[in-house]
Amino acid sequence: MRAVRTTSQVGRQIVVAGGGLAGLRTVAGLRALRYDGAVTLIGAESRPPYDRPPLSKKLMAGQLDDTTLEPDLGSLGVDTRLGETATGVDAGPGSGGVLRTDHGEHRFDDLVLATGAVPVVLPGQGRQRFLRTIDDALTLRALLRPGLRLAIVGAGWIGAELATAAAGRGCLVTVVEAAAAPLAVAVGADVGALTTGWYAAAGVELRLRERVASVEPGGVALSSGGWLPADEVVTAVGVRPAVAWLEGSAVALDNGVAVDEQLRASVPGVWAVGDCMAFWSRRFQRRLRLEHWDGALRSPAAVAASLTGAPGGYDPVPYFWSEQFGRMIQYAGFHGGADRITVRGDPAEDRWAVFWLAGDVPVALLTVNSPRDLLQGRRLIEAGAGADATRLADPGVPVAQAAGG
Ligand code: FAD
């Protein structure tokens, strides 16, 4: 257990803006480290914090209806303000400041920004649906019925998961993707292409290299001049950090709240966690903004530690998973600096993996139905050491035994 500041923090005020997983983990982390000062959690949604990954999976498939994480924030001694939206920050070179909201003002000694991300909206006059909140998910689920013509714009993680659930409920699903392959933005077209066949096998029409110009009543207009009729259109072309409300403040933004390795923003006493933070990764020597549940889970511990006088710091090997078309996909690392890939196993089968390497050092891997490979590969990446690519490619050799180049 790390050292915790022993002096009482009574009289100190920490404000957390954003009531998602990262906001919840921040307040819970502070209390776990025996912070006894005041904490206020401000969340724009009227619900207590809930989990998002099941929204496109079990909830959409009808296997659960509620993903609430912590219904009783009062038990943590947190002043919780739900249905309240932060609108601005007044903070300068000195410590502390004021958070402005649509309900008033909150003075803070420290402010933790945890406002997450919001879906990108396409142009057009037609109704677009999204899949970010539990209300989005419940609304969408109620619409899914056999024969519904559902157009999903974007073959990323959310598009693929929704297509899985909608096809399972008998919808006529068309996924329109501007890139040459599904998941191209996330993992590159070469690796994403290995998942193309999953769509047809599930009865989903996948249209690649097809850009949507706008969403209109009755369907989507394609940049090629074509028209795709649809009863419902779900836009799943990615998210952007929910930081527009910070523009013009002293808090520096760089595709999210720019924070250092300690998750400190440019203004003293301001921090950021989860999807809204763009943190400096010592491991990968670049600024990263990730949209991973694991980051929202773990980054708050680093801030809570710093705020209570324990050693902080955040230098993760990023981790993400997705469940689509009956498969479990897991990804660890960051492949931005890779110069080659090596495929392990046969992507035509149900179990395979891809490693990205920079020289002979594995920097990322994606696994399909291979949790053991993921675990061992993640350790290799954490170690940052070289590996033998031929052994990595051989499913008969445990990944751990490929270490050492
Ligand atoms: P959020 O969950 O976005 O929470 C931020 C909260 O802040 C929101 O409630 C928002 O309303 C609130 N807020 C925004 N602006 C303000 C403001 N100005 N004032 C007050 N409050 C504000 N990740 C995985 O790794 N694996 C998965 O399989 C996976 N599946 C997913 C499926 C879906 C459908 C979605 C939507 C996401 C999925 N993710 C997955 C991503 C993961 O859920 C996110 O990375 C995680 O939720 C981020 O948590 P967060 O608290 O940083 O942000």
Percent of the chain, pLDDT > 70?
Answer: 98
Is-contact 67 59, C-beta < 8 A? yes
Does any ligand 1 atom lie closer than 6 A to the CB of residue 44?
Answer: yes
Whether 2 shows a pLDDT value over 50: the answer reads no
Residue 73: per-residue pLDDT: 85
As a whole number of Å, the CA-based R_g of the chain is 22
Whether 11 shows a pLDDT value over 70: the answer reads yes
Distance between CA atoms of residues 250 and 288, nearest Å: 21
Fill in the amino acid letter for 305: A
Residue 94: per-residue pLDDT: 74
* Distance (Å) from CA 370 to ligand 1 centroid: 26
- Lowest-confidence segment of 82-96, 172-186, 333-347 by average pLDDT: 82-96
Residue 311: per-residue pLDDT: 87
Residue 71: per-residue pLDDT: 74
Burial of residue 213 (CB within 10 Å: 0-12, 13-18, 19+) is middle
344-369 burial by CB neighbour count: b if 16+ within 10 A, else e? bbebeeeebbbbbbbeebbbbbbbbb
* Distance (Å) from CA 304 to ligand 1 centroid: 19
Pick the residue whose CA is nearest to atom 26 on ligand 1.
321
- Mean pLDDT across the stretch 12-36? 97
Does any ligand 1 atom lie closer than 6 A to the CB of residue 18?
Answer: yes
Reported as a single tens digit per residue, the pLDDT across 205-247 is 999 999 999 999 999 999 999 999 999 999 999 999 999 999 9
CA 319 to ligand 1: nearest atom: 25
Beta bridge partners of 61: none
Mean pLDDT, the chain, as a whole number?
Answer: 95
* Distance (Å) from CA 312 to ligand 1 centroid: 23
CA 25 to ligand 1: nearest atom: 51
Burial of residue 6 (CB within 10 Å: 0-12, 13-18, 19+) is exposed
Residue 47: per-residue pLDDT: 95
Does any ligand 1 atom lie closer than 6 A to the CB of residue 55?
Answer: yes
Reported as a single tens digit per residue, the pLDDT across 359-373 is 999 999 999 999 999
Pick the residue whose CA is nearest to atom 29 on ligand 1.
53
Distance between CA atoms of residues 67 and 82, nearest Å: 17
- Mean pLDDT across the stretch 307-336? 96
Query: Domains in the chain, ordered, with CATH?
Result: 13-118+239-308 (3.50.50.60), 121-235 (3.50.50.60), 326-402 (3.30.390.30)
Residue 405: per-residue pLDDT: 61
Does any ligand 1 atom lie closer than 6 A to the CB of residue 314?
Answer: no
Q: Residues 6 or more apart from 60 whose CB is under 8 A from it?
A: 137, 140, 141, 144, 161, 162, 165, 166
Which mutation among 87, 100, 111, 115 tests ligand 1's pocket best, with the greatest number of atoms within 8 A of CB?
A: 115
Percent of the chain, pLDDT > 90?
Answer: 93
Listed residue (318, 327, 405) closest to 364, CA to CA: 318
Does any ligand 1 atom lie closer than 6 A to the CB of residue 321?
Answer: yes
Residue 70: per-residue pLDDT: 82
SS3 annotation, the chain: CCCCCCCCCCCCEEEEECCCHHHHHHHHHHHHCCCCCEEEEEECCCCCCECCHHHHCCCCCCCCCCCECCCCHHHHCCEEEECCCEEEEEECCCCCEEEEECCCEEEECEEEECCCEEECCCCCCCCCECCCCHHHHHHHHHHCCCCCEEEEECCCHHHHHHHHHHHHCCCEEEEECCCCCCCHHHHCHHHHHHHHHHHHHCCCEEECCCCEEEEECCEEEECCCCEEECCEEEECCCEEECCHHHCCCCCCECCCEEECCCCECCCCCEEECHHHEEEEECCCCEEECCCCHHHHHHHHHHHHHHHCCCCCCCCCCCEEEEEECCEEEEEEECCCCCCEEEEECCCCCCCEEEEEEECCEEEEEEEECCHHHHHHHHHHHHHCCCECHHHHCCCCCCHHHHECC
CA 54 to ligand 1: nearest atom: 32
Is-contact 285 315, C-beta < 8 A? no
Q: How many residues does the chain have?
A: 405
Distance between CA atoms of residues 254 and 258, nearest Å: 5
CA 117 to ligand 1: nearest atom: 3
CA 320 to ligand 1: nearest atom: 25
Whether 312 shows a pLDDT value over 90: the answer reads no
Which mutation among 120, 132, 293, 299 tests ligand 1's pocket best, with the greatest number of atoms within 8 A of CB?
A: 293
Confidence label for 7 from pLDDT (cuts 50, 70 and 90): low
Does any ligand 1 atom lie closer than 6 A to the CB of residue 158?
Answer: yes
Is-contact 111 269, C-beta < 8 A? yes
Reported as a single tens digit per residue, the pLDDT across 244-292 is 999 999 999 999 999 999 999 999 999 999 999 999 999 999 999 999 9
Residue 256: per-residue pLDDT: 98
Q: Write down the pTM of the prediction.
A: 0.96
Reported as a single tens digit per residue, the pLDDT across 333-360 is 999 999 999 999 999 999 999 999 999 9
> Which two three-digit tokens encode residue 272?
């950021």
Residue 92: per-residue pLDDT: 73
Q: How far is CA 381 from CA 113, 212, 274, 398, in A?
A: 29, 37, 22, 15
Which mutation among 275, 298, 322, 366 tests ligand 1's pocket best, with the greatest number of atoms within 8 A of CB?
A: 275
